[in-house]
Chain A
Amino acid sequence: MEPPKVFEIENLSSFYGAKQVLKKVSLPIYEKSVTSLMGPSGCGKSTLIRCLNRMNDLVGNFRMEGKILYKSKDLFSKDVDVTNLRREIGMVFQKPNPFPKSIYENIAYGLKIQGISNREYLDGVVEESLERAALWEEVKDRLRESALSLSGGQQQRLCIARALAVKPRVILFDEPCSALDPIATAKIEELITELKQNYTIAIVTHNTAQAARVSDHTAFLFLGDMIEFGTTAKMFTVPKDKRTEEYLTGKFG
């Protein structure tokens, strides 16, 4: 049986000014599984994932056509409150971007801006989020220290914990490991695999091995077109399109 779809992307085209970045892309993102958006640089995969939490709203000359349904509702409809939406759909970025505040404050920020100030509750959420992001043991004695004192991999897990703290349903990862070393990368990948039990996950990557390791479904994008979508197992063993096969075997990209 097919799992429920959290997102349904239908004929999505997007533009920065006159430049078209995505060309009629359609794919589903299934609940509590990992979907990777894979492709070489400039294929539009980051643009696509940034549509899912409407991060592109912040870009002045961004324009899109087509439709994205989130929980069967139009994501871009007028009555969607973007700030609430972004609390439900968390995001982890390419470069770790902890706030220049303490470790504790980084995690608590998302709740504090909702007006939550109950100390005990915040303490609980901070611990739980750091636990889930597999960072608690490393930082539990230094929660008041600056987040900038952490290593790159720890910073990225802190950003994951920060996203978890606001209790999202979906987490979007935009090339979360591209600034990390292999050991830190392995930790993040392990974490993603664990998180999918409770969260719906989409991850952007240009790394085919990473897509193979973490994801259940893979979409292959190339120059703004979606070339192929399917279960990761199937796409990596019997790719339907020649370009997919060439990308997977490292002929370009």
Chain B
Amino acid sequence: MNRQFKEAVIERLLLCSSLLSVFTTAAIIFILLSESLGFFKEVSIVDFLTDTQWTPLFTQKHYGILPLLCGTLLTTLVALLVAVPLGLVSAVYLSEYATGRVRNYIKPLMEVLAAVPTVVYGYFALLFVTPLLKKFIPGLSGFNALSAGFVMGVMIIPLVSSLSEDAMHAVPMGLREGAYALGSHKIQVAFRIVFPAALSGITAATILAVSRAIGETMIVAIAAGQQPNLTFNPLVPVETITAYIVQISLGDTPHGTLEYSTIFVCGLTLFLLTFVLNVVSFKLKRRFQEIYE
């Protein structure tokens, strides 16, 4: 075989493997859409979006996505309340205060947090955080949005911190020098110059964190409960979209039924949510790069 032929074969093989992932994504979207179309032939889209109950497995069937959406948003909100402040503070520290040596130790250590399997986090929330919180909040249920959200927040701290730190690190040194030359203290440079200058990058990081929290499955399935509840009370059990999908996939709901097709509708909703968020995040990040490159 000559060299050129070999190169051509290699190129084709590489092309095929990259097309494979594009094809998989397209196929997933196609299946979500076609199964959802079947669902919406039987359930009106208005009911789906406005009904306040989600009981596809009961005899009184209701198909309102709101309780699941509410559960998802509630756990996500709790996670963000933990991850955004802590993630940003640690990003400011790493970018503006830490010496190069300290940063080189701390950053990989924090990224270990992201490498812990989510199932471990789930049981950590259920068996450690919930009993601990119960000591302070007597009314807390065994399954609740609070500890699931809290642990999820801890899990995404490295994501927020690392991406925000990248954004702050990319702020040109000249801006810091300009601020110091006017008599700024270090904390003023960090919070009044660098932080706002990196804001679109930081926002992109936060949106990505939201998207990650919305799509997170294991922690909420284990620790938040499986009761679709239209509530913003974090102390009671809720069910997220992802947890519902797990419940049906692992249960004995027969294939091909309307009940079974609900998981595709849920999947589609989830996909649309995270897709929009990821696009927004990507756009913001690009805008940030345009300013400084």
Are B179 and A99 within 8 A (Cβ)? yes
Q: Per-residue 0/1 for B214-246: is the Cβ within 8 Å of any A Cβ (1 yes, 0 no)?
A: 000000000000000000000000000000000
**In the complex, A85→B182 CA distance in Å?**
9
Are A100 and B184 within 8 A (Cβ)? no
B188 interface residue (CB < 8 Å to A): yes
Are A90 and B196 within 8 A (Cβ)? no
B174 interface residue (CB < 8 Å to A): yes
Are B180 and A163 within 8 A (Cβ)? no
Closest chain A CB from B253 CB (angstroms):
54
Are B192 and A109 within 8 A (Cβ)? yes
What is the interface of chain A, defined by CB distance below 8 A to chain B? 53, 55, 58, 60, 83-87, 90-91, 93, 95, 97-101, 109-110, 113-114, 148, 159, 162-163, 166
Chain A neighbourhood of B197, CB < 8 A? 99-100
Q: Per-residue 0/1 for B156-191: is the Cβ within 8 Å of any A Cβ (1 yes, 0 no)?
A: 000000000000000010111111111111001000
Instruction: Given A58-B177, A95-B174, A97-B174, answer yes or no on A163-B291 (Cβ-Cβ < 8 Å).
Output: no
Chain B neighbourhood of A148, CB < 8 A? 291
Are A83 and B184 within 8 A (Cβ)? yes
Closest chain B CB from A52 CB (angstroms):
11
Chain A residue, CB-CB nearest to B178: A97
Instruction: Given A83-B183, A91-B181, A163-B182, answer yes or no on A113-B192 (Cβ-Cβ < 8 Å).
Output: yes
Cβ-defined partner of B172 (8 Å) among A87, A97, A114: A97
Chain A neighbourhood of B178, CB < 8 A? 93, 97-99, 159, 162
**In the complex, A47→B138 CA distance in Å?**
64
B193 interface residue (CB < 8 Å to A): yes
Interface of B is mostly: helix
**In the complex, A28→B184 CA distance in Å?**
27
Those 7 A-B pairs whose CB atoms lie nearest each other, nearest first: A87-B183, A97-B174, A110-B182, A91-B181, A97-B178, A86-B183, A83-B183
Instruction: Given A58-B177, A93-B178, answer yes or no on A113-B291 (Cβ-Cβ < 8 Å).
Output: no
Q: Name the residue in A60, A87, A93, A99 with the highest tally of chain B Cβ atoms < 10 Å from its Cβ.
A: A99
**In the complex, A162→B291 CA distance in Å?**
21
Are B177 and A93 within 8 A (Cβ)? yes
Chain B neighbourhood of A166, CB < 8 A? 182-183
**In the complex, A87→B188 CA distance in Å?**
14
**In the complex, A100→B292 CA distance in Å?**
10
**In the complex, A109→B180 CA distance in Å?**
11
Are B182 and A113 within 8 A (Cβ)? yes
17 pairs from A and B in contact (CB 8 Å cutoff)? A53-B181, A55-B181, A58-B177, A60-B99, A83-B183, A83-B184, A85-B183, A86-B180, A86-B181, A86-B183, A90-B181, A93-B174, A97-B175, A99-B178, A113-B192, A162-B178, A163-B181
Chain B neighbourhood of A55, CB < 8 A? 177, 180-181
